[in-house]
Structure formats: C-alpha cells, structure tokens
Structure 1
Amino acid sequence: MSKPFDMEFFLAGMLTGSHATRQRHIHQAELIQAEISEHWHRLTPWAWQKKHVDWFPEHRLNRRSEATRYYYLLTVRLLARRLQKAWVFNL
C-alpha cells in the first residue's frame, strides 16, 4: 500500500510569506498535481515534464480570470524551482 503524495512536505522548504499565502500555494499545488495525475498518469512532480505543467493552465484555467491565472502561475513557478528545473512560464 503506497502513501499519497504529500505536497505540503514537498514544498515545505520553498514556502515563504504569510500563512494564507503558504496555504494558497499548497492548495493550488495539490490541485495541479491531482489534475496532472488524472490526465497524464504522472503521480508525483518528479515524473513531470514541462509539457505536463504547461497543459494545466492552457486547458484547466482557460476560462478563469487573469488574477486566478496569475496566482496559479506563481505556484507553477514555485513547483519548477522546487524541482530545480529552468522552465519558463508566461501568462
């Protein structure tokens, strides 16, 4: 039996700012992870490629406001930094 991926532990060393900001990043990262896992069958961020992360805002956030897309972009950049990838993301 495998344990579910702990996104809060994965991001623990990267999170800064207020409690609300940290919680927002964790919540959004968990949502991103769940969507990628469901669509691409990649269970952990270690298995992701840039195309998997690019897919999320293009197909899941396309009808959201610019502000929402911006906050998810910040979380995606945080995930890329945690993975030590030089991925560049734009709105």
Structure 2
Amino acid sequence: MTKPFDMEVFLNGVLTGSHATRQRHLRQAKIIQAAIVGRWQRESAWGWKRKHLAWFLKHSLKHRGEGTRYYYLLTVRLITRRLETSWVFDI
C-alpha cells in the first residue's frame, strides 16, 4: 500500500510569507494536483511535465478572473522552483 502524495511536504522547502499566503499556495497546489490527477492520472508532482501545468493554467482557469489566474501562476512558479526546473509560463 502506498501513501498518497503529500503536497504540503513537497512544497515545504519553498513556501515563504505569511501563514495566509502559505495556506493559499497549499490550497491552490492541491487543486492543481486534483486537476492533473483527473486528466493524466499523475498524482505525484515529481512526475509532472511542463505540459501538465501549462494545461492547467490554460484550460482550468480560462473562465476565472485575471487576479485568480495570477495567484495560480505564483503557485505554479513555486512548484517549478521545487522541481528545480526553468519552465516559463504566461497567463
């Protein structure tokens, strides 16, 4: 039996800021994770590729406001920093 992927442990090293900011990033990262699991069945962020995060930003947030898309972009940047990649995204 395997443990479910813990997004909080994954992002722990790159989360900074106030308690509310850290909680927002964790909440949004879990929403991103759920969307990627639903589409590609990739639960662990270690297996994600740029296309997974780009898909989320483009398709899952297309009906959201500019501010919401910006905050999700910040969370995606934290994920890419944790993955130690240099992926660039635009919204």
TM-score, structure 2 as length reference? 0.97
- CA-atom RMSD in angstroms: 0.6
**Which residue is 1:80 aligned to?**
80
State the distance in 2 between where 1:52 and 1:7 align.
16
Q: Matches of 1:78 and 1:9 in 2, distance apart? A: 13
Moved runs in structure 1, 4+ residues, more than 6 A?
Answer: none
2 CA distance for matches of 1:21 and 1:57? 19
Residue by residue, what CA displacement relative to the aligned partner does 1:32-83 show, whole Å, maximum 9, x if unpaired? 0111011011111111110011000111100000000000000000000000
Deviations 1:2-27 (A, max 9, x none): 11111001011111000000000000
Residue 3 of structure 1 corresponds to 3
Q: Does residue 19 of the first structure (1) align with residue 19 of the second (2)?
A: yes
> Among the aligned pairs, what percent are the same residue?
62
Unaligned runs of 5+ residues in structure 1 are none
- Superposition TM-score, scaled by structure 1 size: 0.97
